[in-house]
Amino acid sequence: MLQFTVLNNDVETALLKLSILMSDNGLAAFLGAAIGPYLQQRGQKRFQSEGDDVSGAWAPLSPATIVIRGNQYGSGPINRRTGELENWVVGSGWDAYPITKGATMRFPGKKPAGGLKDKVITAQQGRDGSEGPEHPRTVPRPVIGVNETDMVFFQTALAFAIQDAMQ
């Protein structure tokens, strides 16, 4: 014979913690504490390995690009000449904030502008070369993105956060 005792106070405490986590502000805090650092690390590894399971391996640079980069940079690292693009992905953080009925997060945290915006567009989409000699044909070498692996991480992290809140 089994006997279970459930104390109202324990249940109320667990439900209060769950309610806080699932609130707009609680979800924003979760995104900022768990998902932001994860995406930052994924971005850093993407630059280190010149691509990953999200972006695919980045295509090698063309011989013309290698000549333009000169002796200082040569054939690599890809997507890193001034460091501006990598610094934007890895170093600009994230912006998690509550919205009505939930939360959202922007990653990277700052919107690119000016020359950086052009670099991001080129990396993400490539260029067809129709914009003139200053913008030669370039294949995409995406620096930001998510896939199923990232969604599984998100779901698992949220499940663990819910489990922790209910204890």
- Which pTM value belongs to this model? 0.87
Q: Alpha helix locations (H) across the chain?
A: 8-21, 24-30, 36-48, 63-73, 84-91, 114-125, 148-165
Whether 46 shows a pLDDT value over 90: the answer reads yes
pLDDT digits (tens, 9 = 90+) for 8-30: 888 899 999 999 999 999 999 99
Which pLDDT score, from 0 to 100, does residue 25 have? 97
Whether 76 shows a pLDDT value over 80: the answer reads no
Arithmetic mean of pLDDT, 40-64: 93
Which pLDDT score, from 0 to 100, does residue 68 have? 79
Higher pLDDT, 76 or 140: 140
| Nearest CA-CA partner of 129 in 137, 139, 138, 119 | 137
Which pLDDT score, from 0 to 100, does residue 65 have? 80
How far apart, in whole angstroms, are the C-alpha atoms of residue 123 and residue 139? 8
Arithmetic mean of pLDDT, 84-99: 96
pLDDT digits (tens, 9 = 90+) for 127-138: 887 877 777 788
